[in-house]
Structure 1
Amino acid sequence: MARVVCVHGVGKQQLGEQTLLSQWTPALNDGMRRAGSPARIEDPDVLMGFYGDLFLPQGQHLAGGDPHYEWWDVSPGPETELLMQWWKRAAAVEPQVVAPDAENLLFGVRPMVQSALLALSGSRFFAGLAEKALIFDLKQVVRYLADLALRAAVRDRVRRIVGADTRVVVAHSLGSIVAYEALCSMPVHDVRSFVTLGSPLGIPNLIFDRVDPRPERGVGRWPGEPSSTAWTNIADARDVVALVKDLRPSFGPAVSCHLVPNGSHVHDVTHYLTKKETGAAIAAALE
C-alpha cells in the first residue's frame, strides 16, 4: 500500500486516478520543498482514492457528459440552503458579487435560486464554471450525504487503499468529508497525518451535524487515535466551500488550522498542495 493516500474533491467524475495524480504528486513535492523538507513522494508511494465515477448516471461511460441541469433542478432543502450559503460567503469576500439582501433591487422577481446562480456567475471563485456544472457540484455534495448506499461505496474506495504503510491522508473539498468518515470507520490505522484542504467539514447543520459518526455534545470524533494522528486543516480566507475555516470548535483544540493565500483560484487543490503549511504537515509524517 502507499505511504500517502490522496482523496480528491467535487466535480472530478470525468477524470481518473492517474489523471489526478499527475497534478497532485508534483504539487505535493513542491509543498514539501517549500517547507524545507528533503522528503520526496515517488509514484509507488502515493495512491488516489478516486470516487468521481460513482456520481455518473447509471450505465454511462466515464467519457460521457454530465446532466444538463437548469436552475429549477436545484431542490428545496439542503441543496438550496448550501447554495445560499455559498452566495452569502461569495458576496462577503468579493465586492463584485451582489449580496442576497440586494437581490430584489437588481434581479427583480426572479426566484431566489435563479438569483443566487446569476450572482455567483460574477464570482471569481466560480469563474469559468458553467451553471450546470455548479449545480452538479452542489448536488454531488448533498447526494453524498443523503444517499447511504453511494456514501458507503465512496468511503470504501478510500478504505481499500489505506494500508499498514499509509502514514498520510490528504483530502480536498468533498474528499475531506469522505476521508474523515473513512478513517473514523476503521477500527485501527497507522495514519500519522490527516491533512484537509478547503474543507466544508465545519459547516453547521448541512455538513458537520450530518457526518458519520454523528458529533456527540457538539464535538466530532477524532479520525484516529488523538495521540498518534495529527490533523492539519488548511483554507484560504476567501474559499467559499470552506465556509468555516477554524475546525477547532467542531473537532477539538488539537486541530492545527492555517489560513493560506491561494491567489485568484482560492479553492484550487494544487494551490493548496504547494503551500509550505501543507508540505510541513505531510513531511512530518514521512521523515
Structure 2
Amino acid sequence: MTRLVLVHGIAQQHKGPRTLLADWYPGLTDGVILAGAALEERDVTMAFYGDLFRPVGHRGLGEPELDASDVDEGLERDLLLAWWRAAAQMESRVPGPDTAARGRTPYLVQRALDALSHSAFFAGIGERMLISDARQVRRYFTEPDLRRAIQARFLAALTDRTEVVVAHSLGSVVAYEALCAHPQVPDLTLVTLGSPLAVRGLVLDRLLPPPRDGRGRWPAPVRGWTNIADRGDVVALAKDLAPVFGHRVTDVLVHNGARAHDVRPYLTARETGQAIASALRTPAAE
C-alpha cells in the first residue's frame, strides 16, 4: 500500500528504484520521527525514471566525454551561467561572472565550470557531470517523448491510497506537470524540496501548462502544498513558490549545510517531517 511517493531529481541514471529508496528512506524516517510520527517502508514507493537518462553503451569508460564546446547554446548554457552567478553571490571563494552575458559560449561555459569547481555547493562534481546535469534538464523540457515517459513513471507509482508526494529538484517539475495534466488523481499533499519551479526564464516559462500572467496553475489533485528550500540552494534560485502558485503554498526555509541541494538533509529536516506527518495523521488501514 503506497501512502507516500518519492520523486527524485537529476543525476540518478546509474541507480534504480530500490537502490535510491534505500538511500532516501533513513533520512525520510528521521525527519518524520523528529515530527513525532512514524512511517513504514512498505508505505513508501520511489517513482524512478533515472534509467531513461542512462547513456547507451560506448567504448569509453564512465560518462561520455563532454567539455564546454558540447554545451547547448540555449537552456544548458543558461543553467550553468545561472548556477555560476548564484554560487558567486553566496560564496566568496567563487569568482564572479562579471560580463557573463557576452562572449562565445565555450569560453563563458568554461569560465563557469572553472568557477563552480571552487564552490562548496558543487564539491566533488566534475566538469562532465555538471554538463550532464544541465543536459538532463534541457532534455526533459525539449524532448516530448522523454517528458511523457518520465511523467508516466510518476503516475504509475500513485495509487488510490497515496496521501503524500515528496518531490526533489527536477522531480518537483515532473510531479507538478503530471498532477496538472491528470486532475482525476485522488487528492494528496505535495511536498517539494529544493524546487526550481518558480525560476523564471529557465523553468517556470517552460512548464506545461504554461503560466498565465506570470502565475502558475494550481494542480487540481493537490489539497496542500509545502515547499521547502535552503537559502543557499543555487538550484532552487527562487525560494518562494507562493508568489507564483498561490497563497495556498506554504514556503519554509531550512539550513542544510554546505551541500544545500542534497536531498538527504532536506529529508532529515524537522520541517520536512512535519509537512509529511501532518498529511499522514490518519493511521494506515490494516
Q: Which residue of 2 aligns with 1:211?
A: 207
Q: Which residue of 1 aligns with 2:284?
A: none
TM-score normalised to structure 2 length: 0.92
Partner Cα separation in structure 2 for residue 192 and residue 159 of structure 1:
13
User: What do you get for the CA RMSD once the two structures are aligned?
Assistant: 1.6
Q: Which residue of 2 aligns with 1:82?
A: 79
**How many residues matched?**
274
Q: Which residue of 1 aligns with 2:64?
A: 67
Letter in 2 for 1:194: L
Quick check: 1:220–1:250 contact (8 Å CA) kept in 2?
A: yes
Correspondences of 1:188-199 after superposition (within 5 Å): 188-199=184-195
Partner Cα separation in structure 2 for residue 203 and residue 218 of structure 1:
11
Quick check: 1:25–1:41 contact (8 Å CA) kept in 2?
A: no
Asked if residue 99 in structure 1 is aligned to residue 96 in structure 2, the reply is yes
Q: Which residue of 2 aligns with 1:12?
A: 12
Asked if residue 171 in structure 1 is aligned to residue 162 in structure 2, the reply is no
| 1:100 alignment partner, SS class | coil
| 1:52-86 superposed Cα distances (whole Å, 9 cap, x missing partner) | 000122468xxx83222111111111111111111
Partner Cα separation in structure 1 for residue 62 and residue 194 of structure 2:
26
Quick check: 1:56–1:66 contact (8 Å CA) kept in 2?
A: no
> Alignment identity in percent?
51
Partner Cα separation in structure 1 for residue 183 and residue 248 of structure 2:
21
User: Which is worse superposed, 1-10 or 51-60?
Assistant: 51-60
Partner Cα separation in structure 2 for residue 244 and residue 163 of structure 1:
31
Quick check: 1:168–1:191 contact (8 Å CA) kept in 2?
A: no
Q: Any stretches of 5+ residues in structure 1 without a counterpart?
A: 104-109
Partner Cα separation in structure 2 for residue 47 and residue 155 of structure 1:
15
Moved >6 Å (runs of 4+): none
| 1:111 alignment partner, SS class | helix
Q: Which residue of 2 aligns with 1:268?
A: 262
Letter in 2 for 1:264: A
| 2:98 alignment partner, SS class | helix
Closer, same or farther: CA 118–220 of 1 in aligned 2, 3 Å: same
Letter in 2 for 1:71: A
Partner Cα separation in structure 2 for residue 20 and residue 56 of structure 1:
15
Quick check: 2:183–2:219 contact (8 Å CA) kept in 1?
A: no
Partner Cα separation in structure 1 for residue 45 and residue 117 of structure 2:
34
Q: Which residue of 2 aligns with 1:255?
A: 249
